[in-house]
Amino acid sequence: MRQRLSAWIACLLILGCLLAGVCIFSLSVGSVGISAKNIISIFFEGKNSTEYNILFNIRLPRILLGFAIGGALSLAGVISQGMFRNPLVEPYTLGISGGAALGVCLNIVLGLGHSAGLISLPLCGFIGAALVIALVYSLSRKRGTVKTQSLLLTGVMISFICSSLVMLIMAVSRAEDIHGIVFWIMGSLEEPSWGLIKLTALISVAGLFVSYIFCSDLNALSLGEEEASHLGVNVERTKLALFLLASLLTGASVAVAGIIGFVGLTIPHLVRMVLGSDHRIVLAASFLTGGIFLILCDTLARTIISPLELPVGVITGILGGSLFVYALTRTRTVLGER
């Protein structure tokens, strides 16, 4: 037991170092290259220099947002895969992304952005996500209990309906609106509001802490709902709490950064392949790995064809997908199959 605990701490330390490394790398590369050595001296001396501005007003917010959203999406992935006991579930499966996309779509087409300012886009996204969550949950609730399978199916169906509605709106809207919608759907960590970035980071880190209240319940749930209740888990209450937590994390991420795919699906799997299935380590390790992964992907997205920028969702898909397939072919135990 002692060994396991020290192994866990060692692994978190390694991830912490990796995170620091990726942050420094991401700070130093870009259209203006700044060597890692200079970063500290710029921080202390050049408050008004261009380099300071690039580092701390352009690159740092993106890194922080990448960390927050990568972490939140991976955490939501671990929680929903654990709760549904289904390795193919990801944060977007339940229709949250569809709802957010629909909200943003309506915002753009109806031109709410002009009257309410920049904040209205994430706000509409979040409202859309929240409405879908409430709808999916109330539809799958029967006689006080929620069957996870019907929750999943309802979520998938609502997701389809939402994306069809998005297509419908796109089909009848003007070209420049379509561009805005497509751009949003592809996902980007470009976010001008510091306040919103801080809020997202706060939600994301708070989510990690809250998830630890349920870590042993998640372990018990891996044996099945009935077994978990034999082990003293109040299954209905836990499912509701986990569902809300995963939804909040996903909803906040999607509202701010659009639909960044693959992080929530692949990172939990990669972490479990290396560290086993104990949620006490998987939650924190996935959070950190997700953050590292998204910062790295975003750095690639903005440097590969610099000064142009690729959508980060494209990079996460290509990189995450190939990483995942590689890991699958290397390990014999596939997705916890027995």
Partner 1 sequence: MMLEIKDLACGYGAQFSLSDINIKVEKGEMVGVIGPNGSGKTTLLRAITGILKPKTGTVLFNGKDIRRIGIKELSRSMAVVSQGADTGSATVEEFVLLGRAPYFGNFQFLETERDIDIAEKAMKMTDTLKLRQRPMSEMSGGERQLAVIARALAQEPKLLLLDEPTAHLDIAHQVVVLDLIRRLNKELGITIIVVLHDLNLASEYCHRIVLMNKGKVYKTGTPEEVLTYPVIETAYNTVVVVEKNPISSKPYVLVVSEEERQRKKI
Q: Closest separation between CB of residue 10 and partner 1, Å?
A: 16
Cβ atoms within 10 Å of 180's Cβ, excluding its own:
18
Nearer to partner 1 by Cβ, of 63 and 284: the residue is: 284
Nearer to partner 1 by Cβ, of 133 and 220: the residue is: 220
1 exposed, middle or buried (CB, 10 Å; 0-12, 13-18, 19+)? Answer: exposed
Strands, E assignment, 5-77:
none
Q: Is 287 helix (H, G, I), strand (E, B) or coil?
A: helix
HSE (CB half, 13 Å, CA atoms) of 314? 12
Q: Closest separation between CB of residue 286 and partner 1, Å?
A: 15
Nearer to partner 1 by Cβ, of 44 and 209: the residue is: 209
Nearer to partner 1 by Cβ, of 199 and 215: the residue is: 215
Closest C-alpha among 182, 189, 148, 163 to residue 96:
163
HSE (CB half, 13 Å, CA atoms) of 251? 24
For residue 315, list its beta bridge partners: none
Closest C-alpha among 327, 208, 206 to residue 279:
208
Cβ atoms within 10 Å of 130's Cβ, excluding its own:
18
Nearer to partner 1 by Cβ, of 62 and 272: the residue is: 272
Hey, what are 313's tokens? Answer: 């969702």
Nearer to partner 1 by Cβ, of 124 and 284: the residue is: 284
Q: Closest separation between CB of residue 212 and partner 1, Å?
A: 6
Nearer to partner 1 by Cβ, of 45 and 227: the residue is: 227
To which residue do tokens 């751009």 refer? 183
Q: Closest separation between CB of residue 273 and partner 1, Å?
A: 11
**Site of interaction with partner 1 (CB under 8 A):** 1, 5, 212-213, 215-217, 219-220, 222-224, 226-227, 229-234, 276-278, 280, 333, 336, 338
What is d(CA 320, CA 294) in angstroms, rounded to the nearest whole number? 10
Q: Closest separation between CB of residue 271 and partner 1, Å?
A: 14
Q: Closest separation between CB of residue 220 and partner 1, Å?
A: 5
Hey, what are 297's tokens? Answer: 């992907």
Q: Closest separation between CB of residue 217 and partner 1, Å?
A: 8
